[in-house]
């Protein structure tokens, strides 16, 4: 007498293969969800950091736990966005990267002219640029922006 069908071993092997495939797909989905949520958070932080580009009041000093809406006090925002930004607190750090004094570049002439240039530079105000880095830190990430400003 001959029986047709699968043995118990074959069914158990098939169930194990299917369960391994399903577990790997669930892990892949979880990794992708985490990755895309991190990308969204990074994109939002990048957008928030662009508020500093034209904002002359903020970003050149160190401040802790300020609400993001303070950066946009001069703008007309809808209430939902204002509530969302009030709920987000950030730390702002400013680091001076380099100071460039243009008077230093005028002193590359011969020794006789160096003395003359130093006297002229003492009477004329030279341009001084400061290159700095504004760092905005949230609880989970941070974003940096290089800034240049003219010092007088």
Using the predicted structure, report yes or no on whether residue 115 has a pLDDT greater than 60. Answer: no
Q: pLDDT tens for residues 3-24?
A: 788 899 999 999 999 999 999 9
Does a structural domain hold residue 1?
Answer: no
Using the predicted structure, report yes or no on whether residue 36 has a pLDDT greater than 80. Answer: yes
- For residues 148 and 73, the answer to whether their CB atoms sit within 8 Å is no
Q: What is the pLDDT at residue 83?
A: 84
The residue ranges of DSSP E strands in the chain, in sequence order, are 63-67, 89-101, 128-137, 142-151
Total of domains in the chain? 1
Using the predicted structure, report yes or no on whether residue 25 has a pLDDT greater than 60. Answer: yes
User: Which domain covers residue 21, as residue numbers?
Assistant: 8-151
Q: Comparing 20-29, 78-87, 105-114, 131-140, which segment has the lowest mean pLDDT?
A: 105-114
Does a structural domain hold residue 51?
Answer: yes
Instruction: Kindly tell me the burial class for residue 60, based on how many C-beta atoms sit within 10 Å of its own C-beta (0-12, 13-18, 19 or more).
Output: middle
Does a structural domain hold residue 47?
Answer: yes
3-state secondary structure of 73: coil
Q: What is the pLDDT at residue 106?
A: 60
- For residues 130 and 149, the answer to whether their CB atoms sit within 8 Å is yes
């Amino acid at each position: 007498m001959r029986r047709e069908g699968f043995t118990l071993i074959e069914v158990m092997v098939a169930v194990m293969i299917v369960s391994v495939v399903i577990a790997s797909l669930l892990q892949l989905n979880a990794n992708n969800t985490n990755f895309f949520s991190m990308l969204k958070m990074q994109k939002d932080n990048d957008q928030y950091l662009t508020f500093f580009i034209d904002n002359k009041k903020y970003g050149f000093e160190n401040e802790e736990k300020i609400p993001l809406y303070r950066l946009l006090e001069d703008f007309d925002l809808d209430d939902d966005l204002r509530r969302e930004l009030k709920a987000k607190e950030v730390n702002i750090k400013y680091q001076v990267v380099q100071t460039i004094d243009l008077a230093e570049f005028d002193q590359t002439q011969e020794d006789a002219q160096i003395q003359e240039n130093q006297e002229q530079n003492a009477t004329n105000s030279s341009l001084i640029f400061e290159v700095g880095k504004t760092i905005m830190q949230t609880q989970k990430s941070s974003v940096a922006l290089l800034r240049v400003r003219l010092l007088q």
